[in-house]
């Protein structure tokens, strides 16, 4: 079945620098890849997503890239700010299921002042 | 006007007790979920309902029983609580599944502590 691996588990960057979180998936039929952000003590919230017919998508300081051949996708955050500190989850749709995402294990992003 | 609301937010209870968590969404969504997030922050799906019909029932002890009286509500009842059940339980909803790109909206979470 589908498996999503997410790296690194913890990422510490200086404020103002860029952060990159990577995920790989196993099922080539996966076609939808969202990223969720979870601040401490809060609920996960969608920040950006990408579908398999698109290679890159941007929204202000965040962007997601997808490499279908290599079966990996990445979240890029530029000019990091303290409010970017959170746990970020990637996910991939599951073949044959309209109701289930396969989630990565999460990356804790720490922004150092 | 919270989109997905769940109660209670905090719950401390003794081992062996039975407890329920209630969830309601006012987004008009067809699909609702229960997720469990343990101390390692991993998000594990437990159940998914679409229009009151059980769609996903992951490997969860049968002490956990979901109930969807209508498509706007999905409650979770837990019997004979164990220490390992301590976690944050998130209710969530989406318009109609996920594979078409529908966003999952999470509730604020219910922090369950079993002592």
Q: Give the pLDDT confidence of B58-68 residue by residue, as tens digits.
A: 889 999 999 99
pLDDT at B35: 97
Rounded mean pLDDT of A35-51?
A: 96
pLDDT at B87: 97
Percent of chain A scored above 70 by pLDDT? 99
**A94 near B CB under 8 A:** yes
**Between chain A and chain B, how many beta carbons pairs sit less than 8 Å apart?**
64
Concatenate the DSSP letters of all residues of B85-103 into one string. G-EEEEEEEESS-STT-PP
CB A92 within 8 A of CB A61: no
pLDDT at A53: 87
- If phi over 0 gives left and psi between -120 and 50 gives alpha, with beta otherwise, what is residue B55? alpha
Contact residues on chain B for A49, CB-CB shorter than 8 A: 101, 103
Percent of chain A scored above 90 by pLDDT? 82
Contact residues on chain A for B41, CB-CB shorter than 8 A: 38, 87, 105-106, 108
In sequence order, the β-bridge partners of residue B85 are: none
pLDDT at B1 over 70: no
* A26 min Cα distance to partner chain B (Å): 16
pLDDT at A101 over 80: yes
Q: Identify which of A42, A89, A93 has the shortest CB distance to residue B98.
A: A93
pLDDT at A70: 95
Rounded mean pLDDT of B99-112?
A: 90
Q: Long-range contact list for B37-40, CB < 8 A, 24+ apart?
A: B37/B87, B37/B88, B37/B89, B37/B90, B37/B109, B38/B87, B39/B87, B40/A105
Q: Are B100 and A42 an interchain contact pair (Cβ–Cβ within 8 Å)?
A: no
Q: Identify which of B31, B41, B101 has the shortest CB distance to residue A106.
A: B41
pLDDT at B101 over 80: no
Q: What is the pLDDT of residues B3-48, one digit of tens each?
A: 999 999 999 999 999 999 999 999 999 999 999 999 888 999 999 9
Q: Identify which of A43, A99, A105 has the shortest CB distance to residue B98.
A: A99
């Amino acid at each position: 079945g589908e498996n999503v691996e997410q790296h690194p588990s913890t990422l510490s960057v200086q404020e103002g620098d860029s952060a990159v979180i990577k995920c790989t998936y196993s099922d080539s039929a996966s076609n939808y890849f969202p990223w969720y952000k979870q601040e401490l003590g809060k609920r996960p919230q969608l920040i950006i997503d990408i579908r398999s017919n698109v290679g890159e998508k941007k929204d202000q300081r965040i962007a997601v890239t997808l490499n279908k051949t290599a079966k990996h996708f990445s979240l890029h955050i530029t000019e990091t700010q303290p409010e970017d500190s959170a746990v970020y989850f990637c996910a991939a749709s599951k073949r044959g299921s309209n109701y289930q995402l396969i989630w990565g294990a999460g990356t804790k992003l720490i922004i150092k002042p | 006007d919270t989109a997905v609301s769940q109660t209670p937010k905090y719950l401390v209870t003794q081992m062996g007790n039975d407890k329920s968590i209630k969830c309601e969404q006012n987004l008009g969504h067809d699909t609702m979920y229960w997720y469990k997030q343990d101390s390692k922050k991993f998000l594990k799906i437990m159940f998914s309902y679409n229009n009151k019909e059980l769609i996903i029932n992951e490997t969860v002890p049968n002490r956990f029983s979901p109930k969807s009286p209508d498509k706007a509500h999905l409650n979770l009842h837990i019997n004979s609580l164990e220490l390992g059940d301590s976690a944050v339980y998130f209710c969530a909803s989406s318009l109609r599944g996920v594979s078409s790109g529908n966003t999952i909206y999470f509730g604020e979470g219910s922090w369950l502590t079993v002592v």
